[in-house]
Amino acid sequence: MTTTQQRVLVTGGSGFIAGHCVLHLLDQGYLVRTTVRSPERESAVRAVLTDAGMVNGDALSFATADLTRDEGWADAVSGCDYVLHVASPVHIGPVADEDDVIGPARDGAVRVLRAARDAGVKRVVLTSAFHAVGFGHPHTDRTFTEDDWSVLDGPGVDAYGRSKILAERAAWDFVAAEGGAMELTTLLPVAVMGPVMGGEVSGANHIVQRSLDGAMPGYPNLWFPIVDVRDVATAHVLAMTAPGAAGQRFLLSSGPVMAMKEIGAALRAHLGDAAKRVPSRSVPDVVVRIASLFSKEFRSVVPDLGHAKKISNEKARRVLGWRPRPSEDAVVAAGESLVRRSLVRS
């Protein structure tokens, strides 16, 4: 628990990771302010957090601010000791105009950093993603670390990936040139799974939802690095105050990657009848390649068939004292919460 009432701004309080950050900060005794894009969203966000088990809810306040506008950010950061900048547009796959994703992410990050600097914030923790580290590279046995950056125009790098690369680079450039005494730390989570909040299914939890719904006839030969959203939230709070975290990037991964068929096996082992539609068979690579001729979804995964990326979480463990759950825990927690909230077919 904190010994003083320090205030933390969490941007994008309606989001999956941000919501869990808010819950963890409140549990640790912080005063928390979070942003919503319109005042009308406040009651809905508070209700979702309450339903998710929020404690110390009277220590939570709201500010109205949008990543695409300057208005509101000065008030949002006023009086804050730290900022967790979690908000960013999420759109996986093709988009009509990449600037709709890249602009708010890159310009919004700089907008938040500038406001935080002007308000005398000690440190900003920015949520980047593994998309800024491990994409666009040729397949090798390399182990990805925080020293790696994704290839901006490399194979498999979509608009969302480019938004993460460009936003993080813009953040580091801003702090180096104009940040003053303010510190920056960036976190790079892999595929985030875990307990769903409200009625929204976010990020990699879609894999679990589609498995439980029976939307997948079988699993292609794909491998996913996974991290539990609760551990991502813990890492944000650790990175906020750890002396050695200033000026550093941290990869967040639970450990070895999981094959999609292993995700299915975990759901069948733990969810009983709720997992009756989860497939047990694999889809041969040749079938995926043929399907890719007609489907953008399959086309995007062909380059990664049979390739398991290796990712080091040693730095987060060493510097932050971070101890993540096993990947299977995140998968099962996601599945249980989806069933509990009736977000899959019964």
Residue linked to tokens 């949520």:
127
- Domain contains 291: no
Positions of E strands within 200-308: 223-224, 226-228, 249-252, 258-259
> Between vectors from CA 145 to CA 303 and to CA 309, what angle results, nearest 5°?
30
Backbone angles phi, psi at 177, to 5 degrees: -90, -35
0.75 exceeded by pTM: yes
Among the listed residues 164, 261, 309, 315, the single catalytic one is 164
Q: Are 42 and 54 in contact (CB under 8 A)?
A: no
Residue-range definition of the domain harbouring residue 317: 7-194+225-254+310-325
- Domain contains 170: yes
Which stretches of the chain score pLDDT less than 70? Answer: 1-4, 91-95
- Domain contains 273: no
- Domain contains 292: no
The confidence score (pLDDT) of residue 3 equals 44
Q: Are 132 and 119 in contact (CB under 8 A)?
A: no
CATH of the domain at 59: 3.40.50.720
The confidence score (pLDDT) of residue 157 equals 84
Residue type present at position 294: F
- Domain contains 145: yes
Q: Across all residues in the chain, what is the average pLDDT?
A: 93
Residues 6+ apart with CB under 8 A from 81: 6, 7, 8, 121, 122
Task: Determine the angle formed by the axes of helices 260-271 and 327-340, rounding to 10 degrees.
Answer: 60
The confidence score (pLDDT) of residue 91 equals 61
pLDDT in tens, 305-322: 888 999 999 999 999 999
Domain total in the chain: 1
- Domain contains 62: yes
Handedness of CA 211, 216, 217, 221 (dihedral sign): negative
Kind and range of the H or E run holding 187: strand 183-189
Kind and range of the H or E run holding 27: helix 16-27
pLDDT in tens, 66-119: 999 999 999 999 999 999 999 987 765 566 788 888 988 999 999 999 999 999
- Domain contains 156: yes
Q: Is 261 a catalytic residue?
A: no
- Domain contains 345: no
Give the strand pairing for 60-64 and 123-127.
unpaired
The confidence score (pLDDT) of residue 45 equals 96
Which two three-digit tokens encode residue 120?
């005398």
